[in-house]
Amino acid sequence: MSTDTAFALGLLALLGPRLPDRLRVFILTVVVVDDILALVVIATVYTEQVTVSALLAALGVYGAVLLVRALRVRRGLVYAVLGAATWVALLESGVEPVVVGLAMGLLTYAYPAARSDLERAGDRFREFREQPTPQLERSAREELRSAISPNERLQLLYHPWTSYVIVPLFALANAGIAIDGGFLERAFSSPITLGILFGYVAGKPLGILGASWLVARLSGGLLRPPVGWAAVAGTGTIAEIGFTVSLLVATLAFDGPQLEEAKLGILSAALCASIITWVLFRATALLPRRAQLHALLGTDEPLVDLYMEVDAERDHIRGPIESPVTVVEYGDFECPYCGQAEPFVRELLREFGDVRYAWRHLPLNDVHLHAQLAAEAAEAAAEQDAFWEMHDLLLDHQDALQPADLIRYAEQLGLDVERFSSELREHTGANRVAEDVNSADLSGVSGTPTFFINGRRHYGAYDTATLSAAVRAAKARATVAAS
């Protein structure tokens, strides 16, 4: 059943470095669920006798973990002690305690930093800046820590240990077998080695591909993979790589010569997975471009991250009104990173004449004192059909956003200055700015600049090359969906 997630994704990066992200996400989802089910089997099938009192104690300690988490305790030592106690109690109960790692891991999910949390962290930091005392330093540090999800913090803290120490030690301790001609002859005639080998090489891809097809067929197409069928088949072949959890199951099921035969079956399956997956994706790459996109991406519309769709009647848009690709930026006129991104955006629009670009306001008022008024100035200019002219001036002069500067820009653009000044004084554009801020909150946006491409959040760099690659991928998906 189990797939080694790290090895499978690592091999995928080597075999198909230009494969779409949607495929990687689908494979990651399949293999993670795969391992969860395998751990459940370990905890149930490989339990011969259960001590009820110890099992109840384990459940009680895990309940304490849930209580501590509900109280928002963020001390890692507390969770380490309770987790170890749960592990010991489960071990004493007769249930394989490896499931404790899964149960603890499920508590540390990832989520984007909320704008309200970031604002509180900024407030605490300013208090510390004004009065640098140990108490305020501790308060600021706690607010900063709480703004980031535990998943991301723990990943940063433990990734070197898990990747470069724990997993290699596990491999060295559990994968070693002495190979000679007699052993190979005996192993490859053993039902254990052959059962594991064919279970992975044939059963795994048939199971994943067949189950996906069956669910899609029975649901009338309502439930179907978010990728093409070649990608589903590739998921099945790459999932043939079983290592860590597979070796754990093998050590529970066998010992002596039988364990060595099982290990050989697992390692042989991983080798076959590498070859079969390379052949499959190589063959897919030889297809005509349109057929290749269909095979890898399918025709389903992906889930989108942008809560409010772009509305030509409401949004400020550059480029064609109808376009296969829409780029949305949530920005702040005083944000230096938005200023750095602006030349890249302009270059992107010059490179792709058919891209629709929309700007939405997200003034970070807790760190940029003039951002709100600058956004309202852009809206006042929009009332005189000069939004983009004012937008460009504001980003070109981010260090001059005082009211007098804004009025000077209005004069420079030839606007009705009296009307502009009146709307600025009365904060006429504040409601329009607030609508954008609300849509940003609903879309999980907490910082600027944040880009969405065809409704999907863009992660990573926002230089011209990176944005161009993301736009080209979005155009490919749009082409497949339209055909």
User: According to the model, what pLDDT value does residue 225 have?
Assistant: 83
What distances in angstroms separate CA 377 from CA 14, 281, 324, one per listed residue?
A: 50, 53, 31
User: According to the model, what pLDDT value does residue 29 have?
Assistant: 85
Gyration radius of the chain over CA positions? 28
User: According to the model, what pLDDT value does residue 300 have?
Assistant: 61
CATH match for 316-482 among 3.40.30.10, 3.30.70.890, 2.70.70.10, 3.40.920.10: 3.40.30.10
Q: Residue 480 contacts by C-beta under 8 Å, 6 or more apart in sequence?
A: 290, 293, 294, 297, 298, 299
The helix (H) or strand (E) run that includes residue 357 is strand 355-361
User: According to the model, what pLDDT value does residue 374 have?
Assistant: 96
Give CA 346 to chain center in angstroms: 27
Give dist(CA 149, CA 112) in Å, integer. 7
Give dist(CA 439, CA 445) in Å, integer. 9
User: According to the model, what pLDDT value does residue 227 have?
Assistant: 80
pTM metric for this prediction: 0.69
User: According to the model, what pLDDT value does residue 453 have?
Assistant: 93
Give dist(CA 375, CA 332) in Å, integer. 8
Using DSSP's 3-state secondary structure scheme, residue 117 falls into: helix
User: According to the model, what pLDDT value does residue 99 have?
Assistant: 81
Q: Give the model confidence (pLDDT) of 442-480 as tens digits.
A: 898 988 999 999 998 998 888 888 899 889 888 877 776
User: According to the model, what pLDDT value does residue 16 have?
Assistant: 63
Burial 340-377 (b: 16+ CB within 10 A, else e): ebbebbeebbeebeebbbbbbbbbbbeebebbbbbbbb
User: According to the model, what pLDDT value does residue 393 have?
Assistant: 94
Q: What angle do CA 458, 462, 466 make, to 5 degrees?
A: 85
User: Could you please report the per-residue DSSP string of 189-224?
Assistant: TSHHHHHHHHIIIIIHHHHHHHHHHHHHHHTTTSS-
Please check whether residue 188 is in contact with residue 194, taking contact to mean a CB–CB distance below 8 angstroms: yes
Using DSSP's 3-state secondary structure scheme, residue 89 falls into: helix
User: According to the model, what pLDDT value does residue 362 have?
Assistant: 95
Give dist(CA 120, CA 363) in Å, integer. 16
**Of 232, 192, 235, nearest in space to 215 by CA:** 232
How many C-beta atoms lie closer than 10 Å to residue 125's C-beta? Answer: 18
Burial bucket for residue 265 (CB in 10 Å: 0-12, 13-18, 19+)? buried
- Bridge partners of 358, per DSSP, are 317, 328
Q: Which two tokens stand for residue 346?
A: 């302009």
Q: Which two tokens stand for residue 328?
A: 């949305």
How does DSSP classify residue 71?
T
User: In which residue ranges of the chain is pLDDT below 70?
Assistant: 16-18, 20, 174-175, 299-303, 480-483
- Would you list the domain boundaries of the chain? 5-46+96-109+151-296, 115-148, 316-482
**Of 110, 103, 94, nearest in space to 39 by CA:** 103
User: According to the model, what pLDDT value does residue 370 have?
Assistant: 94
Bridging pattern class, strands 450-453 and 316-318? unpaired
